Amino acid sequence: MTIAPNIAAPDNQECIPVKQPFNFGRWFRATGWRHLVGAVMVVFSAFPLLYVLSASLHPGGTLITANGLFSEVDLGSYVTLFNLPQQPYAAWYGNTLLIGGITSAGTVFLGALAAYSFSRMRFTGRRAGLLMLVLVQMFPQLLAVVAIFLLLNGISDIFPAIGLDTQIGLIMVYLGGALGVNTYLMYGFFNTIPASIDEAAKLDGAGHARIFFTIILRLVAPILAVVGLLSFVGTTNEFVIASIVLITPEKQTLAVGLYQFVSQEFSSNYSVFAAGAVLAALPVMALFLWLQKYIVGGLTAGSVK
What is residue 18's predicted lDDT score, i.e. its pLDDT? 58
Query: Helices 221-237 and 89-120, interaxial angle, to 10°?
Result: 140
DSSP one-letter code for 251: G
Q: Where are the domains of the chain?
A: 33-79, 86-296
What gap in Å lies between CA 179 and CA 114, rounded to an integer? Answer: 9
What is residue 34's predicted lDDT score, i.e. its pLDDT? 86
**235, 253, 104, 240: which is closest to 182 by C-alpha?**
104
What is residue 279's predicted lDDT score, i.e. its pLDDT? 92
What gap in Å lies between CA 257 and CA 9, rounded to an integer? Answer: 86
9 has a pLDDT exceeding 70: no
Q: Does domain 86-296 correspond to CATH entry 1.10.3720.10?
A: yes
12 has a pLDDT exceeding 60: no
What is residue 302's predicted lDDT score, i.e. its pLDDT? 47
Q: Which residue has the higher pLDDT, 59 or 286?
A: 286
What gap in Å lies between CA 255 and CA 243, rounded to an integer? Answer: 9
What gap in Å lies between CA 188 and CA 291, rounded to an integer? Answer: 20
Alpha helices in 193-269 (DSSP H): 195-203, 208-211, 217-219, 221-237, 240-245, 254-258, 260-263
The set of residues, in sequence order, having a beta carbon less than 8 Å from that of 226 and lying 6+ positions away, is 185, 291, 294, 295, 298, 299, 302
What are the tens digits of pLDDT across the range 130-181? 888 878 777 777 788 888 899 998 998 888 888 898 999 999 998 887 777 7
3-state SS string for 260-298: HHHHCCCCCCHHHHHHHHHHHHHHHHHHHHHHHHHHHHH
What are the tens digits of pLDDT across the range 208-260? 888 888 888 888 888 898 899 889 998 998 898 999 999 888 899 999 988 88
For the range 166-173, what are the long-range contacts, defined as Cβ-Cβ under 8 Å and sequence gap of 24 or more? 166/245, 166/251, 167/95, 167/98, 167/99, 167/246, 167/251, 169/245, 170/99, 170/241, 170/242, 170/245, 170/246, 171/99, 171/102, 171/103, 171/106, 173/141, 173/148, 173/241, 173/245
What gap in Å lies between CA 145 and CA 244, rounded to an integer? Answer: 8
What is residue 305's predicted lDDT score, i.e. its pLDDT? 46
**284, 273, 255: which is closest to 78 by C-alpha?**
273
- Burial code (b: 16+ CB inside 10 Å, e: under 16) for 4-40 equals eeeeeeeeeeeeeeeeeeeeeeeeeeeeeeeeeeeee
17 has a pLDDT exceeding 70: no
What is residue 300's predicted lDDT score, i.e. its pLDDT? 54
